Chains A and B, each alone.
Chain A
Amino acid sequence: MSQNVICSINDLVANSGVCALINDEQVALFYLPNTEQKVYALANWDPLGKANVISRGMIGNIGEELVVASPLYKQHFSLTSGHCLEEEVSLRTYDVAIEGDFVVFNETVS
C-alpha cells in the first residue's frame, strides 16, 4: 500500500465538495468536518447525467445514509458506498483520509 498526498485541507470546502485528479481520474472530495471519517471520495463522473459534476452536488443525509445529490438530475449517491439510491448504478469510491494538514489517498497496489 502506498500513500499519496492529494492536496491540503485548505483546498477543501467544509460541508461541500471539490474535485481532484488522482492518477488521471477525476475524484470528488467531500469534507464533512463533523463526521468521524471527515473526508469522502467518489468518482466525479455522473453516469446518469454523463458529465463530470458529482463534486458540485449538494450533500446531506437520507435516513442513515450520507449522500450527495447529482446537480444535473438530482439522484442521490451514498458517500460511503457510492451506490445510487434511485437507480441501479454505483460510483467508484476511493480510500482517502486526513493526515495532519493534508488529504491523502491510500492506494492498494495489487
Chain B
Amino acid sequence: MHPIQFLEDGVLKVGTLCAYSYLGRPHSFSIGNGLFSSNSSDVYFLTAAAASAAVLFFMVYDMKVVVVGNGMVGHHYVETLVKSDINADITIIGGETRPAYDRVHLSEVFDGKEPEDLAMCTRQQYKDWGVKAHFGDFVSKINRDAKHVVTEGGRTFDYDKLVLATGSYPFIPPIPGKELPHCLAYRTIDDLGEIKASAKGKKVGVVVGGGLLGLECANALKNLGLEAHVVEFAPGLMGVQLDEGGSNMLRRKIEALGVKVHTSKATQKIVEGDQHRLKMAFADESELETDMIVFSAGIRPYDQLARDADLKVGDRGGIEIDYQCKTSDENIFAIGECAVLGNFIYGLVAPGYRMAEAAVSQLNKSSDDKESFTGADMSTKLKLLGVEVGSIGDSKGMADESRAFVFSDERSDVYKRLNVSADGKKVLGATLVGDTADYDTLLQYYLNDIDLPNDPESLILPASDGEKPALGADALPLAATICSCHNVSKGDIIDSIDGGCVSVADVKGCTKAATGCGGCAALLKNVVDAELNARGVEVNTDICEHFEHTRQELFTIAQATQTKTFDEMIERHGKGMGCDICKPAVASIMASLWNEHVLDSDLVPLQDTNDTFMANMQKDGTYSVVPRVPGGEILPEQLIALGEVAKKYGLYSKITGGQRVDLFGAKMNDLPDIWKELIDAGMETGHAYAKSLRTVKSCVGSTWCRYGVQDSVGQAIDLENRYKGLRTPHKLKMAVSGCTRECAEAQSKDVGVIATENGWNLYVSGNGGMKPRHADLFATDLDTETLLKYIDRFLMFYVRTADRLQRTSVWLENLEGGLDYLREVIIDDSLGICDELETQMQHVVDTYQCEWKTAINDQEKLKRFRQFVNADKDDENVVFVEERGQIRPATEAEKKRSQFKAVG
C-alpha cells in the first residue's frame, strides 16, 4: 500500500504509523510547515502523546513531487500546488540557468526590457514556498522502478509523483551548414543574447520560417537595425492559421513595412558568404547573403527522456497523456508543450496552464476535486510587426460543411473570412488580417455555440449604415471565458462585482482579467458595464453636483474658452457655488493652463487649505515646511540654515522619502517669517502642499559612483527645475538613476529615468504607495533633448486627460489603447497635438515663480496668515511634548493631564 493512503488531514494515525514502521520500509519523514496549523487539537494531542510515549515516532509524510522543466507551465504547476491544500514536498529541476520567465513576451527584451523583467519567479520565492529548486542541470534519465530521476550533473531525486514539463525546442531543418556560427535559434533568453551579439554592427538578418514566431523574430531583427528577410518553405505566411487570402494580405502589409518575404523557398545549403558572413542557396538556384540566420521552423517536444523510459509517445512526437494529464505510467504526468493529447500538441500558454491545474488536482484524495483537461481552444489574436492578425477555430474552413463569407479590402489592406455551418447558424472559424476588431465577438459566438443572426456576414462587414449587430454581453453564458490568459469567466466577473467591485479597474485588480495579453480588455469593459447597468449602478462620470462634466471636459472647456476664473466657469458651465471637490479641480486646471499665483485673490477660495497656506496641515492644525532640494543636492550652508530655522521656531525635523527635509509644527502665523529666512538662505518652496511635482530623486550617479554611466544628479536637478510648480491632477514624483542598478528606484515613479551607455531610458506611470505599480518602459536610449520633449508631452497629455486625483498609473491603466496608444500620441504624434503640448509646458516653465517668495513680499497675500483677526494670540490647543529630543503634538490625554511639561 502506498503510504499516502494512510494519510488523513496530513497526520498519520498512530496505529497505521506503527504498522507502517513495523514493515520496516526505510523512508525519511519530515514535518511539513503549516501542516499542524489547520488542526490545533491534533497538534496538542500529538505533542502530548509524543511526550508521554517517547518510544513512538509521530511523523508526517509529504508526498514527493518532482517537476522536470522550469518553464512557464512547470512553474505554474508548482505555484498551483503550493497554493492548494495539498501537502507535498516539491522539487523542481530546470535545464535553463534561470528560474521560469515569460517566454511569450520574449521579444520585449529586444525593446529594452531586461531579462529580469520577464522573470515569473525568483529563487527566493521558491525558498519561501519551501520548494527545492535546482537549475542549470538537465534530467537525463527516469528510473521508473526505483522512482527517481538522475541529472546530467549526477544528482538523483526520488519521487512519488513525477511531472514532465520539458516544453519543446526549436526544430532546425537538416540543412548542410546549419551548424556554422551565426546560425541561431529563437526560444530562450540565452538565444536572445546570442542574436543580439550576432546582430551588433551588422546589416542583414534572415529568419527561416514564416510562421507566427518567425514573423515576430523578423520584427525583432528589424528593430535591431537589420535588413530583415523571412524565408518560408510553404507558399504563404502563417500557413497554419491563415487561408490563402489572409496570408497574401499579411504578406503585402509586412512587405510594406520593409521586411523582405521569400515564399516557396527550400534552403539547400548554407556556406560562407562573399559580402556578408553567410550565403544561403535555395532549390530554385537563387541565393541570399546574410550576416545571420535565425531558425524558426517549428518546434519539437522535448520527449527523449520519456522515450528512453519507455513511456508512450505520439506518432509525431510528444509524450502521450490522458484527460488527467497522466502518461502511460500512472505516477508520471506530462503537461505543457511536451505533452500530446489525442495526437495534438497545444503550443500555447493558456492550455499549458489548464493542464498544470488539472495535473495538480489529481493529487487530491477526493475524486470530486479532480479536474480534467480535454483539450483547449487554440484561437489567437496578435499583432505582428504592427499588423493585427486573428484566427479562430477552423480558420481556413477545412470542414466539409463549412461555408465561407469573405471580405477583402485592398485599399486599406483588410481581409476577413468567416466560416459558418451549412445552415448558417454557427461560427466554425474565422481569419482576420489587418483589423481584428470583430475578433472578440466572433470568438464568443464560436466558443459558446451562440446562434448567429440571420445575416452572419454583417459581423465582418464594415458598418456602413448604423451599428453592427453587437453581441450584447447579456447574450454570453456565465461560463463564457472572457480572459483566457487567467481563465476568468463571465461568472467570475459577476462574482467580483457581487464582492464590491464597481469599475473595470476594480475587476481587473480582483480577477486579474485583462492583465495577461490584454486582448480581452474591450470585452471585459462591455461585460462590466452591462452588469453594472443591469444593477442600476449608474456610471456617473460627473465631477460633482456642480458640473455635469468630467475633469477632462472641464479642461477642454477652460482651454477652448480661455476661462480664467472659477466664477466664470461655474456661471457658464455649472451651477451652485461649488464645493471642496470641484473648486480644487478647477484651480488645478487653471494653474496648469495659466499658471497664476495660488494666492491671487480669485484663486484663494478655491484652494485646499494646504495650497492656501502653502504648507501641509498636520493633525493638530499646525503646518509642515518643505523647501525644495532639487535632486537631493544641498549646500552645507543651506543645511545649516534649515537647522537654524528649526531651532529658532522649535520645529520637529525629519528627512523625507523624497530626499529633502520636512520641518513640522510650524504655527500658521510663523510661516511667513520661517519662509523669509529660508528664502534668504537661497531656498525656495518645495510644493509639498500641492498636487504638483514633488521631487526628482536621484542617486549619486557617474560623478561619484563607480558604476554610474551618466550624471544622474545633474539630470535630476535639471528635470526638477524644469517641472517644479507644474500643477497636476495628482501629485507627481520622478527619479533619475545613474545606471541600471537603479538606486534611485525610478521605476516606482510617475516619471523614471535610468541612464544607459547611450543616453536615457524613460519609464512612465510607476507608483509606490498603497497599490504599487512598476513603471512601464516607454522609450530607450534617448538624448537629453528628446527625453525632455517626451516628458513635456507625457505630462501635459496627462494633465489634459486625467481624472481628478488620478495618478499617472491609474490613468495609464484606464487609457484605452494603453501604452501602445500613449507611444503613438507622444512619439508618433498621432493626434497632431505635440506642438501644442510642448508650447503649453514651456509656458508653465517660463511663468514659474516661487510662491513663497512672491507671497512674503505682498502684504495683501500675508493677510491670511493671522491666527486671529482680532487678537495677537496663539492657538491654545496646540500643545507639544518632548520626545527623543524634539517636539511632538501632545495626545488628548496628555493635554488633559496638565502635569505634563509642555514645550514650544
Contacts and interface: CB of A to CB of B under 8 A. Distances in A.
A32 B605 CA distance: 10
Contacts of A56: 609, 612-613, 617, 621
Interface size class of B (residues with CB under 8 A): 35 or more
Contacts of A14: 601, 605
Contacts of B605: 13-16, 58-59
Contacts of B892: 50
Interface string A24-62: 001001001000000000000100011111001111111
Contacts of B613: 56
A6 interface: yes
Contact of A62 (B579, B604, B866, B869): B579
Interface in B716-750: none
B583 A60 contact: yes
Dominant SS among interface residues on chain A: strand
A96 interface: no
Contacts of A6: 869-870
Interface string B577-602: 11110111000000000000000010
A11 B584 CA distance: 24
A21 B864 CA distance: 15
Dominant SS among interface residues on chain B: loop
A18 interface: yes
Contacts of B608: 58, 71
B609 A53 contact: yes
B871 interface: yes
Contacts of A76: 580
B620 interface: yes
A71 B870 contact: no
Interface size class of A (residues with CB under 8 A): 35 or more
Contacts of A100: none
B867 interface: yes
A73 to B, nearest CB: 10
B667 to A, nearest CB: 11
A89 interface: no
Nearest to A27: B868
B863 A13 contact: yes
B619 interface: yes
Contact of B577 (A12, A21, A29, A61): A61
A32 to B, nearest CB: 8
A67 B577 CA distance: 10
B148 to A, nearest CB: 64
Interface string A70-99: 011010100000000000000000000000
A60 B577 contact: yes
B577 A59 contact: yes
B870 A53 contact: no
A45 B878 CA distance: 12
A16 B578 contact: no
A71 B583 CA distance: 14
Contacts of A50: 619, 892
Nearest to B610: A71
B255 interface: no
B870 A21 contact: yes
A16 B566 CA distance: 14
A49 B619 contact: yes
Contacts of B654: none
A76 B579 CA distance: 10
Given A18-B866, A20-B869, A69-B580, A58 B609 contact: yes
Contact of B609 (A19, A57, A60, A61): A57
A59 B583 CA distance: 9
Contacts of B619: 49-51, 72
A74 B580 contact: yes
B896 interface: no
A6 B869 CA distance: 8
A60 B604 contact: no
Interface in B562-586: 576-580, 582-584
Interface in B872-890: 873, 875, 877-878
A72 B610 CA distance: 10
Complex A-B, nearest 3 residue pairs according to Cβ-Cβ distance, in ascending order: A60-B579, A15-B605, A71-B609
Given A32-B577, A56-B609, A71-B617, 20 more contacts: A12-B869, A13-B604, A13-B605, A19-B869, A20-B870, A26-B868, A29-B869, A51-B619, A51-B877, A53-B617, A57-B580, A58-B579, A58-B580, A58-B607, A58-B609, A60-B578, A61-B546, A62-B579, A72-B617, A76-B580
Interface of B: 545-546, 576-580, 582-584, 601, 604-610, 612-613, 617, 619-621, 863-864, 866-871, 873, 875, 877-878, 892
22 contacts: A6-B869, A7-B870, A11-B870, A13-B605, A13-B864, A14-B601, A14-B605, A16-B612, A18-B866, A19-B869, A21-B871, A32-B577, A49-B619, A53-B621, A58-B580, A58-B583, A60-B576, A60-B577, A61-B546, A61-B578, A66-B577, A76-B580
